[in-house]
């Protein structure tokens, strides 16, 4: 089998963490009897600065036929962040109906968690990825006047909430775990009670899966105090965004966290990307941690049906972390991006 992968390295350290992922994927393909054909796209803030657009107007058509998309990170100090988000990431997520944003968080030996953890942490944040609070509906009036105002509407649809909640319950069922739904129905009195209602209705279809709901503020506090109490956390676009960065920090920092933007029906390609951004403060120095990118590649292999190769990559990552002598500076070490990635490739099982 040959998988066609659309590769979008993006800006800054995106260009440094993607090559290690491709190297690991190629090594796994040689061992596992599959290959990957990469088509690289220069869509980025650099492209925006040169041409006025993050990607071509028919960009999605170029990658709609690929088996998956691997993205580094986009963002540049000279380009407002909403340009890169609304010019590339959101069009891909929405155009390809990637309504599940999946962010697994696992504390493994060798990752420095800032917390003293009393129990193991192995949780997944399921974030609604295409509607909710991140909407274009709203506007600003009376700019510069004392009566200036801004309004932004949140959009929750029955179909949109149902499918992401179902995904979360199904995931908890296969993990043998439970679901926590993030809400704020005490303060947000229309959309959040609606969210809660749909969660309750869908939960009834998964009688074997335990669940509870928590207000987002209390949930955030508990996530810091007792992260081991959580398994699958499902939340709206905004709540899921915030919780997944918080959870990533618990597990050793933003540089290690992977994410998948999934179209579970597989009508369109799904996109895999590290959670971190383009990190202009360390870009070009060769010290970016490629872990988030490598872990995202492992998620991509799972999605492609290469479960064995995915497990091999995860085990190699965990072995290098546990051994501990090769780490990038963000994890307290002195290794370069390439040195860490080479150590992971060397730790892959022999064919
Ligand atoms: P960031 O994630 O780029 O960096 C935050 C901090 O973490 C920095 O100190 C950085 O050096 C460090 N860091 C991040 N990834 C690392 C890695 N792999 N290894 C070692 N250290 C790492 O977030 P920031 O600074 O808020 O944003 C920078 C740019 O990235 C902005 O333009 C932003 O819009 C964009 N961004 C893009 C994302 C994406 O493409 N999905 C996600 C988040 C931010
Ligand atoms: Mg975020």
- Nearest ligand 1 atom, CA 291: 18
Question: Cβ distance 232 to 172 under 8 Å?
Answer: yes
Closest ligand (CA of 12): 1
Residue found by looking up tokens 């041409």 in the block? 51
Q: What is the CATH number of the domain that holds 310?
A: 3.40.718.10
Question: Which residue intervals of 204-334 are DSSP H helices?
Answer: 216-225, 237-250, 291-304, 307-323
Residue 313 lies in a domain: yes
- Angle between helix axes 307-323 and 291-304 (nearest 10 degrees) is 160
Per-residue pLDDT of the chain (351 residues; tens, 9 = 90+): 999 999 999 999 999 999 999 999 999 999 999 999 999 999 999 999 999 999 999 999 999 999 999 999 999 999 999 999 899 998 999 999 999 999 999 888 888 777 777 677 899 999 999 999 999 899 999 999 999 999 999 999 999 999 999 999 999 999 999 999 999 999 999 999 999 999 999 999 999 999 999 999 999 999 999 999 999 999 999 999 999 889 988 887 888 999 999 999 999 999 999 999 999 999 999 999 999 999 999 999 999 999 999 999 999 999 999 998 999 999 989 999 999 999 999 999 877
Please check whether residues 245 and 258 belong to one and the same domain: no
Structure ipTM: 0.98
Closest ligand (CA of 248): 2
Residue 224 CA, ligand 1 centroid: distance in Å: 22
Report how far apart the first and last C-alpha atoms of the chain are (Å, whole number): 17
The distance from CA 159 to its chain's CA centroid, rounded to whole angstroms, is 22
Measured by CA distance, the residue closest to atom 8 of ligand 1 is 279
Please check whether residues 71 and 193 belong to one and the same domain: no
Please check whether residues 30 and 156 belong to one and the same domain: no
Regarding the beta carbon of 165 and ligand 1, being less than 6 Å apart is answered no
Please check whether residues 215 and 291 belong to one and the same domain: no
Residue 7 lies in a domain: yes
Count of CA atoms in the C-beta half-sphere (13 A) of 20: 31
Please list the active-site residues.
Answer: 134, 184, 217, 241, 245
Measured by CA distance, the residue closest to atom 23 of ligand 1 is 277
Q: What are phi and psi of 346, to 5 degrees?
A: -65, -25
The residue segments making up the domain with residue 28 are 1-99+254-351
Q: How far apart, in whole angstroms, are the C-alpha atoms of residue 250 and residue 55?
A: 34
Q: How far apart, in whole angstroms, are the C-alpha atoms of residue 213 and residue 224?
A: 17
Measured by CA distance, the residue closest to atom 27 of ligand 1 is 277
Question: Cβ distance 290 to 343 under 8 Å?
Answer: no
Q: How far apart, in whole angstroms, are the C-alpha atoms of residue 187 and residue 217?
A: 11
Ligand 1 test: best mutation among 10, 242, 254, most atoms within 8 Å of CB?
A: 254
Residue 108 lies in a domain: no
Count of CA atoms in the C-beta half-sphere (13 A) of 10: 29
Residue 237 CA, ligand 2 centroid: distance in Å: 10
Q: How far apart, in whole angstroms, are the C-alpha atoms of residue 103 and residue 129?
A: 12
Give the contacts of 12 (CB within 8 A, at least 6 positions apart).
Answer: 73, 75, 76, 277, 278, 279, 280, 283, 284
Please check whether residues 9 and 77 belong to one and the same domain: yes
Measured by CA distance, the residue closest to atom 44 of ligand 1 is 277
Residue 242 CA, ligand 2 centroid: distance in Å: 6
Domains held by the chain: number: 2
């Amino acid at each position: 089998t040959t998988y066609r992968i659309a590769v979008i390295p993006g800006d800054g350290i995106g260009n440094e963490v993607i090559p290690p992922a491709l190297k690991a994927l190629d090594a796994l393909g040689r061992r596992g009897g599959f290959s990957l054909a990469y088509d690289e796209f220069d869509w980025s803030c650099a492209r925006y600065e040169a041409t006025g657009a993050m990607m071509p107007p028919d960009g999605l058509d170029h990658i709609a036929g690929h088996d998956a998309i691997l993205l580094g990170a986009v963002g540049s100090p000279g380009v407002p962040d909403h340009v890169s988000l609304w010019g590339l990431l959101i069009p891909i997520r929405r155009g390809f109906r990637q309504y599940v944003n999946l962010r697994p968080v696992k504390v493994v030996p060798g990752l420095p968690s800032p917390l003293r953890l009393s129990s193991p942490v192995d949780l997944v944040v399921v974030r609604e990825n295409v509607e909710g609070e991140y909407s274009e509906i709203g506007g600003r009036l009376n700019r510069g006047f004392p009566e200036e105002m801004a309004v932004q509407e949140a959009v929750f649809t029955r179909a949109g909430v149902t499918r992401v909640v179902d995904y979360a319950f199904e995931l908890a069922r296969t993990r043998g775990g439970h679901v926590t739904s993030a809400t704020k129905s005490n303060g947000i009195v229309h959309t959040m009670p609606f969210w809660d209602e749909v969660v309750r209705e869908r939960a009834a279809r998964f009688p074997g899966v335990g669940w509870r709901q928590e207000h987002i503020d209390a949930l955030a506090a508990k996530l810091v105090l007792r992260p081991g109490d959580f398994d699958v956390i499902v939340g709206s676009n905004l709540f899921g965004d915030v919780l997944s960065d918080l959870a990533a920090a618990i597990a050793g920092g933003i540089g290690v966290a992977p994410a998948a933007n999934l179209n579970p029906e597989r009508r369109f390609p799904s996109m895999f990307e590290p959670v971190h951004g383009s990190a202009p403060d360390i870009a070009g120095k060769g010290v970016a941690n490629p872990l988030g990118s490598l872990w995202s590649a492992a998620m991509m292999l799972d999605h492609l049906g290469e479960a064995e190769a995915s497990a091999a990559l995860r085990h190699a990552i965990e072995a290098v972390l546990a051994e501990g002598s090769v780490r990038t500076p963000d994890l307290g070490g002195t290794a370069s991006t390439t040195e860490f990635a080479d150590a992971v490739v060397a730790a892959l099982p022999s064919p």
